[in-house]
Each structure stands twice: as C-alpha cells, then as structure tokens.
Structure 1
Amino acid sequence: MVRPRALAFLSLFASALVSPLQAQSGADYAYLGLEPDIVTNFIGPSSRNLGYVRVTIELMIHDVEYLEIAEHHMPLLRATAIEVFGRQPEDKVKSLTGREDIRRAMLESFQVLMIQETGTEVIKDVIFTKYLYQG
C-alpha cells in the first residue's frame, strides 16, 4: 500500500519531470547536413601561403516544415559557408575561440541570407561535427 504522503511526493516528482518535456514538445527542430563536407582554403601567414580546412556542418532548422526550404537553398548555403571560411585568417581557423567566432559568423550569414530569400530565419543553429585544418 502506498502512503498518501509518498504518493504526493511521487506525483510532484513526476510533474517536475514532465514539465521540461512538455516545454520541449513545442519545438520541432530538424537537422540537415551540408553534404559533402566543406573543403576550402583559408588565408595563411602570407598571401603566398594558403591553408585548407575540411568541415562537416549540420544545420539546426527551426521547424520540420522549413526542411524543404533549407534543402532548396542548399547551394546558396554551401557557397556562403565557403565564402565565410575563405575570409578567415590562419590564427582564427586554428584556435578554439576563433572556431566559435567562425561558427557564429556563419550562423548570422545563413540567417540573414534566409531572411532575404524566404522572409524567415529558417536556421536556428550551426554545428561543426568535424573540423580539420592544415596550414
């Protein structure tokens, strides 16, 4: 037999677990990978030296409904990613803080681009799942 006090504790505990899940249920994110990996050059210590970077990029899409829109604009998103990396100096590409700066710059560029093309941000976040460089 379960005591009323224990039952009250269990229901309180269960409601605490359900609340965050219910809050997340409103968000229906989707993920889309930029295929194939982005492979491009970055600026080396002098204009004569170039390095290269290979990055696997996953896009977090605001809603599953926007997935088709993001897929439609994939060539434009790939070109933007290559452009963002092409502007980066070697020290930024090779540092952890620089990598985060690049990720944020890419997210901002993607969002501005998608607002211009579709009227909505579409992309919530950019995730680098593989990041290799040589330079």
Structure 2
Amino acid sequence: MSAAQTAATGGFAYALTRTLDASADAVWRAWTTPAAYSRWAYAAEGSVEMDVRPGGAWKATTVTPDGGQVPLTGSYLEADQNRRLVIGMDVPGRPEPAVMTVELHPEDDRRTRIELHQTCDTAEERDVAEQGSTMLLDSLEAFLGEEG
C-alpha cells in the first residue's frame, strides 16, 4: 500500500495492492454482479444497479457503520473483463467524477493480484478514499474466502 502526491495532475493519489485467493473471473464477478457486490461492499440490499460497459451507469446505497445510508452513483469509463475496470464516481458539487481504477493480474487459476488506484484533489480526500478502499478490499477478501 502506498500513498503519494502526483505532481503531473497536482492531485494526491493512492495505490493499494493485494493478492486474493480467487480467480480473476471470481474477482471480476464480485465487482460487477449486483447480488455479489451488495454482499461485500456495504451496500443496502436491492440498491445496487450496474450496466458494466463503457458509458454504462451504476448506483448503490452504502450503509455506514452507524446505520446511515449514502447514495452513490457513477459510470463505467472502461470495462475489460477480468482485467481492468475504470469507475467514475459522481461527487456532489464537482463537475468531473472521481475515478478509481481496478486492475486484475491473475497469478494462476486460484490467485489474483488486485490493484486499486485513485487520484484525489486533496490529501484529506485521498486519506478518506484510501481508508474506504482498504475496508472494501478487506471485505472483498473475506467474501471471496467464503465463496471459495
């Protein structure tokens, strides 16, 4: 895991890497199937909709640890099955979406290295996004372990 300031964009970026005990196909399905995604991504039941293709929309309502609900929306900028997913996340008051890149690197039929990258406008935004993404990876890893 690493966080760094990105000079070229003037923003702040983080990158998280983890090796999961699951095939790239299983990881891809977890990220792109509403029923699976809602089970590991802290989403309210029935709130996830996904049109996984470039230009396709997604939405989900995240349930916070205190029981609050946060509606999220966005679009898919890239979708290369079992390899790369680039997700645009709508941010209120910002004209451009925040962008997260998910890259999958199969190590063999049972293990996949996943890399998440995101560039943010401020160090605080980066820190919050990195913390949230770390929690997502923890939950994804537990979910895939149950599914395996």
* TM norm structure 1: 0.31
| Normalised TM-score (structure 2) | 0.29
Which structure has the larger Rg? 1
Relative to its length, the structure with more helix (as a share) is: 1
Structure with a larger share of its residues in strand: 2
